[in-house]
Amino acid sequence: MPKVTETTPSPSPSEPAGAGNAQLDEIRAGYSFEGGALHFGAAVIDGKAYPDAPVRIPLSTLNRHGLVAGATGTGKTKTLQLMAEQLSGQGVPVFLADIKGDLSGLATAGQPNDKLTARATDVGQQWVGTAYPTEFLSLGGLGNGIPIRATITSFGPTLLAKVLGLNETQESSLGLVFHYADKNGLALLDIKDLREVIAFLNSDEGKADLKSLGGLSSATAGVILRELIAFSDQGAEAFFGEPEFDTQDLLRTAADGKGLVTCLELPAVQDRPALFSTFLMWLLADLFHDLPEVGDVDKPKLVFFFDEAHLLFNDASKAFQDAIEQTVRLIRSKGVGVFFVTQSPKDVPSDVLAQLGNRVQHALRAFTPDDAKALKAAVSTYPHSGYDLAKLLTSLGTGEAVVTVLSERGAPTPVAWTRMIAPQSLMAPSDDATVQQVIAASTIGSKYAQMVDRESAYEKLQARLQAAPTPEQAPAPAPKAEAPARAPRPAKEEPSMVEQVVRSSAFKSMVRSAGTVIGREITRSIFGTARRSR
């Protein structure tokens, strides 16, 4: 009897065989969204990209925050760039911290080449060189960009203590100095204001006030003052003062409806990592302080990319990390999405990492035992998948990533090895002429260009010291002022109701209280950041 061989159809050249086919179907179904979305690239099975299995992230879940991680040179910056392009194209403003100056290319249309064309063909991308509406900012005017600053009182004691490297006791003492300045109407606009307040409290004239603060010792005040002087010597005066940057300027769109991409250019301050990472946190805290609650939205009001995130958490106190966690958790309801960008997930504390529902993980390195431990921890945070993630995460090519995001209903999508699409803007810094042209055309340039130094704590305390009598000068008794003659009130004329109210002690007390609150009181937020009402 002849042997009968049962045959099955061969898989299509575009489909993997067996289990791979089921995995591809799962990815297709998991990333099929109804609303607007950003396109990351094509799913990869066994090293082959499948353009008909696109990997995407819904716009509606971008305010659930995310992580973009990977070793140096694996493609994190290009991932930021392609995400910023698509957000801008769909009317969502973007904020990016440009540490190395690479992201200025967003303002210039990309140029095709053979390598780019091959990538676009591989992932099914219809690539067209495109420039995006861009704004360039710089800290204190150091570098290319519109200068932005914060006042010392707005920056607050918690963030300033992080910049100065103070311990928890010194941070608490700095908070007392801010409290004293708030209550006494001493505006802390720049570093010299804060230095003058601390110097005054350490002086003979300020000893009584220092004693009244209780928890602030003269020795600790001296330490803080020395740290401030050293900070000033590094050129920090440029970063603090007025006009203060209004974070509402990050929420603008261009005339054509595209979201404005704001790049904070930081190459000139790379040697001050604590300063620029903490300044980014101030921007985020200020947004949280000012924006209204909006709940879940179809697309975010702003997406904030927090680059070099490990710098923020290095040597951070538990209280500081708790404040970051609370800000990240609560700012979601303000319609702001935050993506932390760093080399490894272990750079972000677990309580903060737990808030990041969207993950784009580029290649990790496992050269040391610590690296291997971090790799194992990273693998454990992903949903079950058909990939050998421990092997895959160490062998991903440049421009490839392992992706899982939140679907429109809030559930994690299948893990997808993804070959990323190429950015359509220039994948290199824009030339100086283009950058200068963008800066010159800015609608907010004149608003922040000129630094202002109005009367504040420094001037008030200097005036008080100059007016104080010397020991040799005995104060002369003040002459009694003669009471002016008052015209007699007609016998029949009674005070009006308004006059009676204005003359009452209750009304006068209310006016004094209102004046104190309006002129002196400052409401501080989670980080101790503050703003008088705009």
Does residue 490 lie within any of the structural domains?
Answer: no
Query: What percentage of the chain reaches a pLDDT higher than 90?
Result: 57
CA triplet 78, 80, 81: central angle to 5 degrees? 60
Lowest-confidence region among 113-127, 278-292, 312-326, 359-373:
312-326
pLDDT at 360: 97
- What is the CATH number for 67? 3.40.50.300
- In angstroms, the CA 385 to CA 442 distance is 47
Query: What percentage of the chain reaches a pLDDT higher than 70?
Result: 84
Long-range CB contacts (within 8 A, 24+) of 400-404: 400/44, 400/75, 400/362, 400/363, 401/40, 401/70, 401/75, 401/79, 401/360, 401/361, 401/362, 402/359, 402/360, 402/361, 403/40, 403/55, 403/57, 403/359, 403/360, 403/361, 404/358, 404/359
Distance (Å) of CA 89 to CA 37, 92, 216, 259, 353: 11, 7, 52, 7, 28
pLDDT at 322: 86
Per-residue pLDDT for 258 more than 50?
yes
pLDDT in tens, 66-75: 999 999 899 9
Does residue 512 lie within any of the structural domains?
Answer: no
- Boundary (domain end) residue, out of 378, 407, 430: 430
Pairing of strands 134-139, 261-265: parallel
Residues 206 and 345 in one domain: no
- Confidence category of residue 462, pLDDT binned at 50, 70, 90: confident
**Average pLDDT value for the chain:** 85
Residues 401 and 261 in one domain: yes
Per-residue pLDDT for 500 more than 90?
no
Residues 342 and 197 in one domain: no
pLDDT at 359: 96
Per-residue pLDDT for 400 more than 70?
yes
Does residue 488 lie within any of the structural domains?
Answer: no
Q: For the residues 410-418, what does the mean pLDDT come to? A: 96
pLDDT at 33: 93
- Boundary (domain end) residue, out of 208, 239, 270: 239
Residues 124 and 173 in one domain: no
Residues 161 and 216 in one domain: yes
Does residue 79 lie within any of the structural domains?
Answer: yes
Does residue 458 lie within any of the structural domains?
Answer: no
- Confidence category of residue 395, pLDDT binned at 50, 70, 90: very high
Residues 313 and 193 in one domain: no
Residues 176 and 303 in one domain: no
Cβ partners under 8 Å of residue 533, min gap 6: none
Residue type present at position 349: P
Q: Where is mean pLDDT largest: 93-107, 259-273, 455-469?
A: 93-107
pLDDT in tens, 12-53: 445 665 556 899 999 999 999 999 999 999 999 999 999 999
Per-residue pLDDT for 422 more than 50?
yes
Per-residue pLDDT for 4 more than 80?
no
Per-residue pLDDT for 493 more than 60?
no
DSSP 3-state of 22:
helix
Is the pLDDT higher at 515 or at 219? Answer: 219
Does residue 477 lie within any of the structural domains?
Answer: no
Per-residue pLDDT for 259 more than 90?
yes
- Boundary (domain end) residue, out of 204, 239, 274: 239
Per-residue pLDDT for 153 more than 50?
yes
b/e burial code for range 439-454 (CB count within 10 A of at least 16 → b): beebeeeeebeeeeee
Helix (H) and strand (E) counts in the chain: 19, 12
Per the structure, the complete domain to which residue 407 belongs is given by 19-144+245-430
pLDDT at 471: 52
pLDDT at 37: 97
Does residue 280 lie within any of the structural domains?
Answer: yes
Does residue 470 lie within any of the structural domains?
Answer: no
pLDDT in tens, 332-355: 999 999 999 999 898 999 899 999
Residue type present at position 271: D
Residues 104 and 194 in one domain: no
Residues 262 and 230 in one domain: no
Per-residue pLDDT for 143 more than 70?
yes
pLDDT in tens, 511-533: 333 333 333 345 566 676 765 44
Q: How many domains does the chain have?
A: 2
- Confidence category of residue 255, pLDDT binned at 50, 70, 90: very high
Residues 273 and 206 in one domain: no
Residues 261 and 397 in one domain: yes
Q: For the residues 358-387, what does the mean pLDDT come to? A: 89
Strand ranges across the sheet with 358-361: 48-58, 37-45, 416-420, 400-404, 358-361, 66-69, 336-342, 302-306, 94-98, 261-265, 134-139, 146-148
Per-residue pLDDT for 506 more than 50?
no
Residues 190 and 104 in one domain: no
Q: For the residues 252-258, what does the mean pLDDT come to? A: 96
pLDDT at 469: 60
Residue 112, preceding peptide bond in cis (omega within 30° of 0): no
